[in-house]
Amino acid sequence: MLIKSVRRWAIPEREATPEALFMNRRQLLVGGGAGLLAAGVSLPARADVMEAPDVAPELYPAKRNELYKLDRDLTEKKIALTYNNFYEFGSHKEISKRAQDLEVKPWAVTIDGMVDNPMTLDAEELIRKMPIEERLYRHRCVEAWSMAVPWSGFALKELVKMAGPKAGAKYLRMETFMNPDVARGQRQRWYPWPYVEGLRLDEATNDLAFIATGVYGKPIVKQMGAPLRLAVPWKYGFKSVKSIVKFTITDKPPKSFWEQLARREYGFYANVNPEVDHPRWSQATERQLGKDGRVPTLLYNGYAEEVAGMYANMDQSKIFY
């Protein structure tokens, strides 16, 4: 996922951080915060990475929808909660601690664009309006690792229905929060923040498209995209945008974060296909987190029955990447 070739105009993280803040951070790292503590300044305590935020906690654990079964074991919770891609908090997998700085309550969500019912409401209010259930889904990252997760949440089609798309609407655009004070990765100006993803409206209203509001029987943890995160398991993981603040229904194809960075590597559809290699590596097999060896990757990540019909009349070379 990491685009390794640093562009001439790209600057290292150290330089992207204002000097004073950088020095403070260094002093803190070098001195272990001892200087501040001696001066009587207490550091804010970070929540434990396993701790679920307090967003509509009464809804969990939600009743499992038995339609969505797995052919493999669930990934161990500790692994799924500590091996994450969330570039807002760093371009590596160990971001779970840093993500605890994100405040998810209150959390304003806007639904706008070509809709009959535009609205802005709090995520907790939105979640409480929706039929929450648990689904066991596979998740396949474009980097060829995978996991199996018990998400809780609601079908995305319920949100689209509530918005009421107008005639001519074709796409759903989803946008992540923007707050470089908390998410230091957003100070890296060579990335096209905020993180944006999009689906065609028929994809967004497919039964499988899901908004995860919980995981492992509790409200979803911050590092996995609290309080609202997309789960589209037939697509590579980068389509599953985290910590959404805006849903826009539009007639224009949204330009996603990774598409803007590397169009030839991360396309709009990004449907999982073991026979179409990524330009830099094979997609034939995957490493299941927490297990030894590799297993074959399945077409549409094993969800062909549910989704292949949406792409039947399309140029097949365009729907994988």
Binding site for ligand MTE (CB under 6 A): 1, 84-88, 141, 176, 195, 224, 237-238, 240-243
The span from the CA of 140 to the CA of 320, in Å, is 14
For residue 230, give the nearest of 173, 166, 145 by alpha carbon. 173
Q: How many Å is the Cα radius of gyration of the chain?
A: 20
Query: Which residue, 128 or 287, is less far from ligand MTE as judged by CB?
Result: 287
Place of tokens 């229904």: 249
Min dist. Cβ of residue 17 to ligand MTE (A): 19
Q: What pairs with residue 112 in β-bridges?
A: 248
Min dist. Cβ of residue 313 to ligand MTE (A): 29
Query: Which residue, 141 or 319, is less far from ligand MTE as judged by CB?
Result: 141
Q: What pairs with residue 121 in β-bridges?
A: 109
Query: Which residue, 84 or 297, is less far from ligand MTE as judged by CB?
Result: 84
Half-sphere exposure of 91 (CA within 13 A, CB side): 12
Q: Residue of minimal CB distance from ligand MTE?
A: 237
The span from the CA of 37 to the CA of 40, in Å, is 5
Number of neighbouring beta carbons within 10 Å of residue 24: 13
C-alpha distances in Å from residue 184, one per residue of 10, 50, 91, 93, 215: 16, 21, 10, 15, 25
For residue 230, give the nearest of 264, 254, 251, 252 by alpha carbon. 254
Query: Which residue, 49 or 241, is less far from ligand MTE as judged by CB?
Result: 241
- Which residues have a Cβ under 8 Å from the Cβ of 298 and sit 6 or more positions away? 272, 274, 304
For residue 311, give the nearest of 263, 262, 272, 284 by alpha carbon. 272
Min dist. Cβ of residue 93 to ligand MTE (A): 8
Min dist. Cβ of residue 289 to ligand MTE (A): 9
No. of H helices and E strands in the chain? 9, 12
The span from the CA of 264 to the CA of 203, in Å, is 22
Min dist. Cβ of residue 154 to ligand MTE (A): 18
Min dist. Cβ of residue 85 to ligand MTE (A): 4
Min dist. Cβ of residue 111 to ligand MTE (A): 18
The span from the CA of 20 to the CA of 7, in Å, is 26
Min dist. Cβ of residue 261 to ligand MTE (A): 11
Query: Which residue, 114 or 149, is less far from ligand MTE as judged by CB?
Result: 149
Query: Which residue, 48 or 116, is less far from ligand MTE as judged by CB?
Result: 48
- Which residues have a Cβ under 8 Å from the Cβ of 262 and sit 6 or more positions away? 3
Query: Which residue, 165 or 301, is less far from ligand MTE as judged by CB?
Result: 301
Query: Which residue, 114 or 151, is less far from ligand MTE as judged by CB?
Result: 151
